[in-house]
Structure 1
């Protein structure tokens, strides 16, 4: 799942739970929207959980093995709220993992909300006036699948030698 795909899944969930009127993707170097809004920064922290699952299968060409590694990851996404009502919008996001109108959409996409919070007050002086700001982390669990291919060893040629290095017997092994 790409960062854009993850953002597109989180955006409606954040909008539904928080009630914030506008949501943008973080780090776009664009002018901020007017009024209250939120930004979502996906994958600010990624860690693995347990050991990955590995599967190997022989492809129809009968020469290539396809290896699939499915790792379980815990991913942190940061939601920052700006301007009037920022702390209230952020607090509304807490316990979003209990909302049926959010969790099942994420679940179908292979995501599970592990936890939300805490609400951090980031209120700051902006152009000689205080601007209300808040931040909430959303920790997700997801499975990530990576595939690679490797060719089979089809034949091996070798020679058996004595202790002093004299050739005794050549051999060929074929699959």
Structure 2
């Protein structure tokens, strides 16, 4: 799952749960919207849980093995709220994992909400006035698959040498 796909899954969930009127991707270098809004920064922290699953299959060419490593990742996504009502919007995100109208869409896409929070007050001085700001993290669990190919060994040659390094016998074994 790409960062864009993850953002597109989280956008409606954050919009529904928080009630914020507008959401933008974090770090998009565009002008800030007018009024209250939020930004979603996906994958601010990525960890792993346990050991990955590894599968292997022989491709139809009968020479190449396809290996798939499926890791269990724990991913943090930061949601930051700006301007009036920022702390309230952020507080609305708590216990997101208990909302059936949100978690089933994420679950069907392979995401599980582990937890949310805490709400951090990031209120700051902005253009000589204080601007209300808050942040809450969403902690997700997901499976990520990486695929790579390795060719089969089709023949092996072995050579036996004496202690002086002289070849005594050489043999090739073909698959």
Q: CA deviation at 1:78?
A: 0.2
Tell me the number of residue pairs that the alignment of Structure 1 and Structure 2 aligns.
175
What does residue 67 of structure 2 align with? 67
Q: Deviations over 1:89-137 (max 9, x none)?
A: 0000000100001100000100001110000001111111111100000
Q: What's the C-alpha RMSD, in Å, of the aligned pairs?
A: 0.9
What does residue 79 of structure 2 align with? 79
Q: d(CA) in 2 for partners of 1:113 and 1:134?
A: 20
* TM-score normalised by the chain length of structure 2: 0.97
Q: d(CA) in 2 for partners of 1:139 and 1:49?
A: 13
Q: Deviations over 1:6-54 (max 9, x none)?
A: 0000000000100001000000111100110000000010011111111
Q: d(CA) in 1 for partners of 2:91 and 2:166?
A: 80
* TM-score normalised by the chain length of structure 1: 0.97
What does residue 44 of structure 1 align with? 44
Structure 1 stretches of 5 or more lacking a match? none
Structure 2 stretches of 5 or more lacking a match? none
Q: CA deviation at 1:164?
A: 3.6
1:6 correspondence with 2:10: no
Q: d(CA) in 2 for partners of 1:63 and 1:72?
A: 29
1:32 correspondence with 2:27: no
SS at match of 2:165: coil
Runs of 4+ with deviation above 6 angstroms: none
Q: d(CA) in 2 for partners of 1:166 and 1:119?
A: 74
Q: d(CA) in 1 for partners of 2:46 and 2:166?
A: 56
